[in-house]
A and B are shown apart, each in its own frame.
Chain A
């Protein structure tokens, strides 16, 4: 099976999305799939073979802009999408998913690695909704995310699967804590405005000097947050360790007394699950997804309002530090989801897709009929379909029609005079 994992960014960039794609790629390759990671990043185009996975990175012309899609990545998708049995798009924003969708792949899976609020943001709403409505398969990272999706687009409920991020229990239990002094508070997140790391830093000013904050992760907000800590005169108590490997992250999780995760909007809840599995008390934003993760794994979690005073966070950290630490044996028996189960679930989904002989049923009634009647009303007719001229189009088997909405395809095939005006 040939699988393309399209990621809006990839290692060494830090983040949950990058980690998930990396783990899935390696796991699927071990199960016999031919896996290619297609991503974008700063610098030049690169091709790398790592643990059986081909990683192709294309230069993003606008640097780190979140909404940009590398033109070469778009072109690569357009030319080679038919070579893959499955294309799975992991992205935080809709444009990359739209680019992958327009490439007419045989089977597209969409994994929104961001809150659906963000994914369905105002400037992408119509496009993102069209995409979600037309993508044959959606993967959500939690039940809550799926519920939100179903509430937003009810008819997609049957097409949404839940594959949660995993927790590496073995690595966690075997990790050696760092030798530190004081009470270590750990914040693991991407450093931008949405993740609430600034609030955790502000809370440190309201805590006893014995509390130290260790920030694991990187991002565009690092300089700003560092300056913020300096402004509050707590630089000596806030340590930015940047993006770290999984092993080092496990060691920090074992070192910490409290883990803080304070996103202002929906997140994956993976930090809560990891921290609970590591037996560390957690201070988390009171969001449904975080509560669900805490209930699933079980552990000491103190919830605070998603947007509120840093003094509340400081109080919550003090309270969480008083909670008992989970013993080692219980940690191993934790009910946290593992990465192996995530890889198995993904593999199973791909197998089902490939083995399913039925083509994806497009919503013809909405698109082609509407378009035809509209053109007829205007006294125009549709041009006959022209063959697709890309080099790889021949490999699309008969009956496996592209799932891309036919309205778009028809409008492309119409002659110049018949195009939308």
Chain B
């Protein structure tokens, strides 16, 4: 089991769990996955941890993702986005106890909403099935939650985190969108559009995931900030996608993210709540 120094370093409102006692085995010859950590296990007497993995045609990537899952998980929920390959069969063969949920609609946001609805654990962890996020980091997220956070964001740009997958354009877009969110919502996020997060199941009413696309992470981050929940960030390492191609398109999805940010502004919310009243007044007059 990993030993993490759980000393929390305050970074203008957000707190980051710093890793100091264990050197990450990045570029280690004994680890065939580059910067990956050895697989850890969760404390047996801890909270029940559910993992939600949305997947569409990820049969080739699942063996890696599942092999990196730590021991002691309460449940693993695979949300199948109507895959045409053997995604479901592979998942069931790799982990017999896996719960398969078939997505009701389209898009990552919808898949996450369906996965969250099916969770019965105390803690929910969001993971990608393409192998870019390392499930072995889950104990770090759980540790932060047990230390007082309501919501824990993985961050590729916090000290100790990195990404092998992000392009310059996406990095710039992320930076711009992150700056907008931090300015408008008073947050101190170092990463915005990253799909590796964990939170207490009690936070679900504050998220109300009601979008379809890749803006789901932004929507969650913004709504969590608006509700005043306590957010911690932990550094995370993002690897390149192992097989296949990503469905993410930088410009259209970036635009959707920006639209989501503006739509969630308190001013917009106030206007929305006032509109019915103004309408009724004008009708009555």
Contacts and interface: CB of A to CB of B under 8 A. Distances in A.
A309 B229 contact: yes
Interface in B194-226: 200, 202-203, 205-206, 208, 226
Interface string A297-320: 000000000001111001000000
Contact of B200 (A202, A223, A224, A311): A311
B270 interface: yes
Q: Is the interface of B mostly helix, strand, loop or mixed?
A: helix
Interface string B223-254: 00011111000000000000000000000000
B229 to A, nearest CB: 6
Contacts of B208: 232-233
Chain B interface extent, by class: 10 to 19
A227 B228 CA distance: 15
Nearest to B223: A231
B106 interface: no
A231 to B, nearest CB: 5
Contacts of B203: 311
A393 interface: no
A405 interface: no
Interface string A224-262: 101110111100000000000000000000000000000
Interface string A249-287: 000000000000000000000000000000000000000
Interface residues of A, number: 19
A232 B150 contact: no
A310 B225 CA distance: 12
A199 B274 CA distance: 22
B269 interface: yes
Q: Is the interface of A mostly helix, strand, loop or mixed?
A: helix
Given A202-B206, A205-B205, A233-B208, A227 B230 contact: no
A231 B269 contact: yes
B266 interface: yes
A167 B150 CA distance: 38
A60 B63 CA distance: 71
A314 B203 CA distance: 12
A178 B226 CA distance: 33
B205 A232 contact: yes
A310 B273 contact: no
Given A232-B227, A309-B230, A227 B205 contact: no
B146 interface: no
24 contacts: A198-B228, A202-B206, A202-B228, A205-B205, A205-B206, A205-B227, A206-B205, A206-B206, A223-B273, A224-B266, A224-B270, A227-B266, A227-B274, A228-B266, A230-B272, A232-B205, A232-B206, A232-B227, A233-B205, A233-B208, A309-B150, A309-B229, A311-B200, A311-B202
Kindly list the 3 A-B residue pairs having the minimum CB-CB distance in the complex, ordered from nearest.
A227-B270, A227-B273, A227-B269
Interface of A: 198-199, 202, 205-206, 223-224, 226-228, 230-233, 308-311, 314
